[in-house]
């Protein structure tokens, strides 16, 4: 996680993606926001995982997450 500036940097990136995919205003997106609250379906979730894998050059094997914070933590330890 240290390499990329930590969990908040990852969350900021995820917030941008969630906003683009689900249309929820960025200022309303919190780490504890669930994908359901953000209007993200299974395809949006997959897109989010692919985007974050590409950005951070990692591979997440079938990640399980309900909130943006869950996903940020998976990215942070990958």
Give the model confidence (pLDDT) of 41-78 as tens digits: 999 999 999 999 999 999 999 899 999 999 999 999 99
CA distances from 57 to 45, 49, 51, 60, 77 (A): 18, 11, 10, 10, 13
Residue 7 banded pLDDT, cuts 50, 70, 90: confident
For residue 4, pLDDT over 60 is answered with no
Reported as a single tens digit per residue, the pLDDT across 26-40 is 999 999 999 999 999
pLDDT score of 29:
97
């Amino acid at each position: 996680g240290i390499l990329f500036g930590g969990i908040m940097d990852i969350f900021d990136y995820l917030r941008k993606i969630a906003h683009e995919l689900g249309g929820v205003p960025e200022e309303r997106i919190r780490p504890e926001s669930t994908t359901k609250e953000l209007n993200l379906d299974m395809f949006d979730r997959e897109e989010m995982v692919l985007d974050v894998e590409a950005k951070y050059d990692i591979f997440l094997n079938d990640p399980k997450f309900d909130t943006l914070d869950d996903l940020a933590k998976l990215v942070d330890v990958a």
